[in-house]
Structure formats: structure tokens, C-alpha cells
Structure 1
Amino acid sequence: MRKYREEIEKYIDDHRDEMVEDIIRLCSINSQRSEYVEGAPFGEGPKRALTLALNLAEKYGFEITNYDNYVGAVDLNDREKGLDILAHLDVVPEGEGWSVTAPFEPKEIDGKIYGRGTSDDKGPAVAALFALRAVRDLGIPVKKNTRLVLGTDEECGSSCIQYYYKKEQEAPMTFSPDGEFPVVNIEKGRLQGEFSAALEDGGDKRLVSIEAGTKVNVVPPKAKAVIEGFDIDEVEEKAKAVAEETGIKFSFDLVPVFEITALGANAHASTPDSGNNAITGLLELLCRLEFSPSKKIETIKKLYKLMPHGDTSGENLGIAVEDERSGALTLAFSILNLKNNIMHGFFDCRIPVSGDGEKILKTVSEKFKGIDIEFLEDTVVKPHEVDGNSPFVKTLLSIYEDYTGLKGECLAMGGGTYVHDIENGVAFGAVFPGTDTKMHGADEFVVIDELVAAAKIFAQAIVELCE
């Protein structure tokens, strides 16, 4: 039996209902990033979530620090740095297809809490806070400080944490409960490509506009296009065939314009196979319609050929690569807008550790140049890796094994977390093997028993890493 395990387990179990209540309160806040206002760098929603989280920590007796509403910090004690736990309070957009509850009306149903942010990452953030409470309230002696760092812009580039580390030094060890158990010690590299083109139009049967996607790191569940000069019958016939082949659902509105809506399923861009991309489904249909000849349609068809529906590995772009340590490259066509004959779009590419980011960037740039589309991105985020045999990682794996009875091993993931640029940082939970929490999708949830277990594991980690 690990030292203090019985006390930790009893404490967390005794505070289970309180933890659920705090998660529901926090997830009731729509903390998507919005426009800057004075005192709220990422909008009012993220600020409200941060204020509530810090108020909860202060109510529980912790010393808190607010870094200009970019980041908040909760300290276990005032001793030297030992461990940082990085979590975030911002969320992705609601998306389509919610059925259990509204995104920001979280509900506890059959041992789960449903709502946007329950899994990513407000639930795990609260679990980490209760882990701090357990260690402090139980009077467990630790020689170093553990600091819970709560950011508000992880989903849109992590500028909050960059701001924080301009003011603070990294702790010797860092984990983020924004991934999966056991330990994620490898995060793929990332290329978020942006492109644009001015397209010449012409003819009676024309493509007027496209509006699709909201975030670069989200597989889009909805895409819309406005067309002219078509009869509904010829469009419906083509759409039926595309729907049967792709699983994309189409609907039509003929007033005041002929608008096509494609519905797929959203997913995190690092796991595009778990969604159904509405952009590529819509483009498949548009490419089958008999438009009047134009440079616009010609270019759209060439673009679609580079990123067709179902190609989530970059095969058609010529950038597919994979390895045993981190898996295959992934590609998600995530945003596309066409208005006034100006096309603007984004895609998200996650690169395994064996991938040559600069070579991939060059290949993509040349492919887009070859179809007269300007490629605007010139930055590749390199993969991140921490030694799986380090004492830090081995301690985390050992605790996980003892608390769960499951094998502890290091994992690689395509999603990027706060620790991507932290020298000795890994993702540690809070999702357990075999559980799909629908993160970034409709009906996102967290299993309460699993989050309670995560809080116990986090508390034990604090004790053993800082004792």
C-alpha cells in the first residue's frame, strides 16, 4: 500500500458531491474565446470562468494569484517550486448535434456529467484542485510546492501560458490533466496551414459563396454553400449519391437564395477519423455539379483533389508519414470561406516525431503554388518528447498502475497540450483508456467515477513528487 493512499482515497470519496457541484457551476459558463475587452484579454467568458475557479480555491483556503486574467495560480504552500499542474478553463465552440443537454447547461445523468468543458478541461482542473485540497487538509508533509496553473486560451493558441512563463519559471516537473492516462510523453508536431486566392467567376450556373468551419483544430460538423442557376432536382440527385458514399447529410433552402447545408460530425483535429468532415463532404458535392466553366470552379476542384473526403493522412498532398513511436500524420481540412470571389481557408496537420516538418511545409507550399493558391503559413511546431525512463515519468506510471490495476505505459498523441513547450512536461490523464468522452464533439461528458479516481491519482502524485 502506498503511503497515505487510504487517507487520500477516503478524503476524495467524502468530497465527491462537492467536486461534482463545482464542475457543474464551472461548466455552466460559456468560456469560448471572444473579442478582447479591457481586463478580459480573451473576452468575458474566459474571465468569468477564471474568476469562479479562483474564488473556489480561495474559499477552500488557498493562496491565489491572478496574472491579469490571462492565467490564475493556486499554491499548495509557499515553498520552492516542485510541481506545476497546468489545466485550462476555455472551451471550443458548442458545435452541432447535442442531444442529452444544451452545451452550457451541464447535467449529471447516470454517473456522468454532460456539457461542454466537462472533459476538456474544466472537470480535470477541478479534480486537480481537490487533489491539492486532499494533500493540504490531510496535513501530508511535502517539502516543495505544487502549483495549479489555470489558463484561459489553450484552445486558441495557448497565448495565456506564454504570458505566464514570461513572468514565472517552469517547475522542475510539470503535468497537464488535458490528455489521457497513463502518461503522454510524446506530442506530435503541428502545422496549421492557411491559404487564400482571388478567384475569377463567370457563367449562369455559379458558386456564390462557402461558409464552413469555426476553429482550426476542430473537424467541422457543418458547411454551407450558396449556388445559382441550378434546379433542385439535379442537386438533390447528386447529393443523394454523395450522402450514401460519405455519410454526410444535406439539406436545401431555396429562399431567398439556393443554399446547401452539409452536416457531418465534429471531432478534434488530431483525430479526424473520429469525425465526418462537412467541408470535404460539401466539396465532393460541389465538384459533381455541372457549373459553368470558370477559374473559380477549376481552382476549387484542384484544391479538393489535394484534400479529398476521407483522406486524413495527407496522402494526396504527398506528406503521409508514420512511425511506431507516435503513429501516423493526420490532416483535417477545418475552415473554408468564399465570399466576393475571395477564398480563404485553413487545415490542421499533426506530424509524428519521424516527420520532417520543414520538408512537409515545403511540399505543401509547392502543391498549393501549383494550383495558384497562396500558402500563407511558414511555421511548424516541432514534436515534443520527454524521456519515458525518467524518475518523474516512472513515478507517475507506478502510481497509475497501483490505483487502477492497469498497465502503465507511455503514449503518443496528436493533440497538443500546455506542456508541448515545457522541457519536462507530460500529459497525465484525465481520460482513462477505453473511454471516449466526445471531447470537442456533441454531448461531451466525463465519467464521475473516473474523475474521482483521477483526483486520487493526482493527490498521490503531488505527495510522492514533492515529498
Structure 2
Amino acid sequence: MKYKNEIEKYIEDHKQEMIDDIIKLCEINSQKMPYKEGMPFGEGPYKALMAAISMGEGYGFSVKNYDNYVAAIDLNDKEKGLDILAHLDVVPEGEGWTKTEPFKPHIEDGKIYGRGTSDDKGPAVAALYALRALKELNIPLSKNVRLILGTDEECGSECIKHYYKFEKEAPLSFSPDAEYPVVNIEKGKLHGNFVANFEKSTELPRIVSIEAGTKVNVVPPKAKMVIEGLKIDDVKAEADKVSAETGIKFLFDLEPVFEITAMGKNAHGSTPQNGNNAITALLLLISRLKFAKSKQIEILNNLYKLMPHGETDGKSLGIKCSDEKSGELTLAFSLLKVTQDNIDGGFDLRCPICASTKDIMSTLRVKLSAAGVELTNQTMTEPHEVPGDGHFVQTLNKCYEEYTGLKGGAIAIGGLTYVHDIKNGVAFGAIFPGTDTHMHGADEFMVISELVASAKIFAQVIVELCS
């Protein structure tokens, strides 16, 4: 491939600088925060954006700031050729970190640990260094490449929606926010919400409250419940049985109230099978405890029947489906808040391209209504597909194969990236096959050699598509 030797040498020579820049960004807690004037997603995302802008300008690029929602770094001033979309915001730090604190990046055994190292600050910086390599090597290009850095990907992508109010899509786009080889299919998505209101019951035993889940797209690792009127020995006896069945641990605290905490394992909402859901395990325990009859208990038991522990395919809700291209529907019961007169819950649903989103929504409304709650959502995001045999996907695969020796291909994911609604948009890297970076979980990391390889691949892709 043309300029391959020059690209490889440049990236290797600047590897430490790239690592240093990743660390600088990952030291910033850029999860979504309360709005401040000039900071649409709060102080953390704003600081990360300013740091990335400073990096881009420091390397001599023209950088455009779109109202502190998004920054765009241009390789040249020629016509649009390729957009690379990455993000600088992160999910909450969560619990269970052992290698380092979430925002104190740590290098060990060839890996960078820290929140955002793989999702998506590490890949974003790898893309920046691809642009830097081509700029400083003076490799001639006939079209522009724009690196677009958003700050709200994890909470609705309002940043990119804002960007496209001002700009048109490039003819081709990819996001280094997934895995290799090429992700040409992204499933449909629903971040479902349901609510119920009812009369408060004073009968004992009863549930006082439940607080569970961190974000709708994260399998909940913890669920807390406060109860009255039950003996701890009776509760423990049932909890031990549930623990043996599910692998969920239960913790107990009697002061100042009787609090039960279910401890599970988090995972990305698009891969709920990789986690162990604390909410559904807690509901299983509730179904076996002898609470007084109430509308609250009736609804919770109904919800458990629709979303039982260990089931992630929507079977009990009547929405199970799958196809060869994009796999099966997935569902994670991810948020639950219960008071003595209200239930508010959420779930993450991803559907394959064969699914009828209209039918899924209709079925959900009927099933949840029968359970005693109201689905508040009106629509869901449709699945996205770019032909796997087209020139764009084939070029990405060619570069990937050349630099890695691995077989390319076209794959589907449950996660949604920035390119989900872009006509010629795919996800490309930066996680290698077989590497579990603990994305959205504790001890998130990125393999340094894979980041270096990604920077080389991205640079070569630009040469092949924009020369």
C-alpha cells in the first residue's frame, strides 16, 4: 500500500506522545453533568472538549467549535471526503475498580486503564494521530478528512444532532467507537421507560423503597431495597437460595433501616448476557418473600414475570426474534425506582434488522399495561445497515487486513454509534477481536499496541479513500 512504510514509522516514532495525550483526556471526568452557561453538557465534557481543541490547534490543525457541543478538526480545506466521528464524554465511573481509580489512568502490562480509554478517548486520539501523521508527512490528498469530536454520545447524542444543523454529512463516515473489522449493521434501539402510580399501603410486611441502576444502557450492578415487617433470618434464608441460583450476593444492614443490597455485575446494555442483573435478582427475592398484598407488590411480581433473571432475549415479553445477519434481540431491565405509591423503571432493548419496530412497540404496550405500568415511549430507533460488499467497507477491510494480518469482514452490533443515522456511516475499530476492554465496566482499558495499530490503519484508510 502506498505510504505504508512512512505511516508506520511516524506512528511508532510518536507513540509515546499519543499515549500522553490519551492520558491527559482520560484524567478528565467527562460524564454528563448539569448544564452551565456555555457548557451544554456540564463542566466535565466542556473541559474534555477544550483539551482536545488545544491538542488539535497545537498540532497545527484548523479547529471549529460548534457552541461547545462538538469540535471539528480539519486535515485540509478541500471538499468533503471522509468524516471520522468520535466522542469525549464517558459513562459514570461505577464501582469495583481494582487497577486504578477511574480518572487516574494507569499503564500496566501494555494496557492503559481508566474510564474512557476504550470508549472513546483512546480511539479518538488514535484518529487525531492518523491526521497528524498525514499532515506532517505531507502526503498529498484530494479531499478533506474531518475528525468530529462530540460530548454527549452516551446520553442521547444531542451534540451530533446539533452539529448536523450546520453541516452536511461527508460522502463517507466512520466511527472508531466499536470493534474490528467493520460494523455495517447496528441494531434498532429503545431506551424504554414505564411508570405506575397507586395507593400507598400501610399493611406489613412491605417495601418502603427501591433504588437501582445507574444508566439505562448499563446492566445494573447494584440494587438497594428498604423493607419493614420481616425478620432478617427469614429474608437471609430466601436470599441464600436466590444467591445460589443467580450468583448475586446480598448484603444486609439493619441500621437505621432494614436495607438489602443486591450486588451483581455491570455490562453494556447491548450485551446484557455479559452482566449479572441486580434488579432482576432482587425482584426474584421479592417474589419469594411474604409481603402483604398491595398494588406495589403485585406490579413488581408482574414485572419479574415479564423480565425474569437470566433472560435477555425478550421471550417472556413476547418480542423474541433473531436473524442470521444481526443476531437476536436483547433486553436488559436496567433502572428501577420504587416508592410507596410509585414505580418508575427503564430497560434497554436492541432489535435485529428483521424486527418490526412497530410490532415490538405495540406488544410492549399491551404486555406492560397488563402488568400494571404504562410505557411512556412512543417510538424506537430503527436498525441501520450499510452494504457489506460496497467499495467503502471493502477498502476499510483491506487496510485492516494489511496492518494486522487478520481477516476482515462485516459484523453487526447491538450498540449505537454516532453513524447510526448516517447513510454511508459504519463503525470501524478500535477494539480488536477477542479483546474485552471492560467498556462501561470497572477496570476499563485499551491495549496500547492496538491503539497504535489503529492509528496506522486510520491513516492508511484516509490515503486510500481521499487521495
Q: TM-score, normalised by structure 1?
A: 0.99
1:161-176 superposed matches below 5 A: 161-176=160-175
Residue 432 of structure 1 aligns with which residue?
432
Residue 143 of structure 1 aligns with which residue?
142
- Give the secondary-structure state (helix, strand or coil) at the position aligned to 1:116: coil
Residue 328 of structure 1 aligns with which residue?
328
Instruction: Note the alpha carbon deviations across 1:1-54, whole angstroms, 9 max, x for none.
Output: x11000000000001111111111100100000111100000000000000011
Letter paired with 1:462: I
Instruction: Note the alpha carbon deviations across 1:307-363, whole angstroms, 9 max, x for none.
Output: 011110001000000000000000000100012421101101000000111101000
- Per the TM alignment, residue 195 of structure 1 is displaced from its structure 2 partner at its CA by 0.4
Residue 46 of structure 1 aligns with which residue?
45
Whole-Å Cα distance in 2 between the matches of residues 185 and 159 of structure 1?
Answer: 22
- Per the TM alignment, residue 199 of structure 1 is displaced from its structure 2 partner at its CA by 3.0
Instruction: Note the alpha carbon deviations across 1:138-182, whole angstroms, 9 max, x for none.
Output: 010000000000000000010100000000010000000001111
Residue 337 of structure 2 aligns with which residue?
337
- Give the secondary-structure state (helix, strand or coil) at the position aligned to 1:459: helix
Residue 405 of structure 1 aligns with which residue?
405
Residue 68 of structure 2 aligns with which residue?
69
Whole-Å Cα distance in 2 between the matches of residues 207 and 257 of structure 1?
Answer: 12
Residue 414 of structure 1 aligns with which residue?
414
- Worse-matched range after superposition: 116-125 or 232-241: 232-241
Letter paired with 2:322: E
- Per the TM alignment, residue 214 of structure 1 is displaced from its structure 2 partner at its CA by 1.7
- Give the secondary-structure state (helix, strand or coil) at the position aligned to 1:147: strand
- Per the TM alignment, residue 220 of structure 1 is displaced from its structure 2 partner at its CA by 0.8
1:196-207 superposed matches below 5 A: 196-200=195-199, 201-207=201-207
Residue 459 of structure 2 aligns with which residue?
459
Whole-Å Cα distance in 1 between the matches of residues 209 and 463 of structure 2?
Answer: 57
- Per the TM alignment, residue 286 of structure 1 is displaced from its structure 2 partner at its CA by 1.3
Give structure 1 stretches of 5+ with no counterpart.
none
Q: Is the Cα contact below 8 Å between 1:196 and 1:374 reproduced in 2?
A: yes
Residue 183 of structure 2 aligns with which residue?
184
Q: Percent identity?
A: 65
Q: Is the Cα contact below 8 Å between 2:384 and 2:420 reproduced in 1?
A: yes
Instruction: Note the alpha carbon deviations across 1:212-233, whole angstroms, 9 max, x for none.
Output: 1121111111110100011111
Residue 447 of structure 1 aligns with which residue?
447
1:15-94 superposed matches below 5 A: 15-94=14-93
1:273-284 superposed matches below 5 A: 273-284=273-284
- Give the secondary-structure state (helix, strand or coil) at the position aligned to 2:443: coil
- Give the secondary-structure state (helix, strand or coil) at the position aligned to 1:268: coil
Whole-Å Cα distance in 1 between the matches of residues 396 and 302 of structure 2?
Answer: 48
Residue 108 of structure 1 aligns with which residue?
107
Aligned-residue Cα RMSD (Å) equals: 0.7
Q: Is the Cα contact below 8 Å between 1:96 and 1:222 reproduced in 2?
A: no
Letter paired with 1:179: A
Whole-Å Cα distance in 2 between the matches of residues 322 and 298 of structure 1?
Answer: 31
Whole-Å Cα distance in 1 between the matches of residues 409 and 460 of structure 2?
Answer: 18
- Per the TM alignment, residue 202 of structure 1 is displaced from its structure 2 partner at its CA by 3.5
Whole-Å Cα distance in 1 between the matches of residues 341 and 223 of structure 2?
Answer: 17
Residue 264 of structure 2 aligns with which residue?
264
Whole-Å Cα distance in 1 between the matches of residues 249 and 54 of structure 2?
Answer: 45
- Give the secondary-structure state (helix, strand or coil) at the position aligned to 1:184: strand
Q: Is the Cα contact below 8 Å between 2:127 and 2:147 reproduced in 1?
A: yes
Residue 311 of structure 2 aligns with which residue?
311
Instruction: Note the alpha carbon deviations across 1:394-441, whole angstroms, 9 max, x for none.
Output: 100111111111111000000000000000000000000010001001
1:206-355 superposed matches below 5 A: 206-355=206-355
Letter paired with 1:166: K
Whole-Å Cα distance in 2 between the matches of residues 244 and 58 of structure 1?
Answer: 56
Whole-Å Cα distance in 1 between the matches of residues 260 and 288 of structure 2?
Answer: 14
- Per the TM alignment, residue 79 of structure 1 is displaced from its structure 2 partner at its CA by 0.6
- Per the TM alignment, residue 454 of structure 1 is displaced from its structure 2 partner at its CA by 0.4
- Give the secondary-structure state (helix, strand or coil) at the position aligned to 2:317: coil
Residue 158 of structure 2 aligns with which residue?
159
Whole-Å Cα distance in 1 between the matches of residues 36 and 340 of structure 2?
Answer: 30
Residue 129 of structure 1 aligns with which residue?
128
Q: Is the Cα contact below 8 Å between 2:70 and 2:149 reproduced in 1?
A: yes
- Give the secondary-structure state (helix, strand or coil) at the position aligned to 2:315: coil
Letter paired with 2:77: D
Instruction: Note the alpha carbon deviations across 1:244-264, whole angstroms, 9 max, x for none.
Output: 111111101111111111111
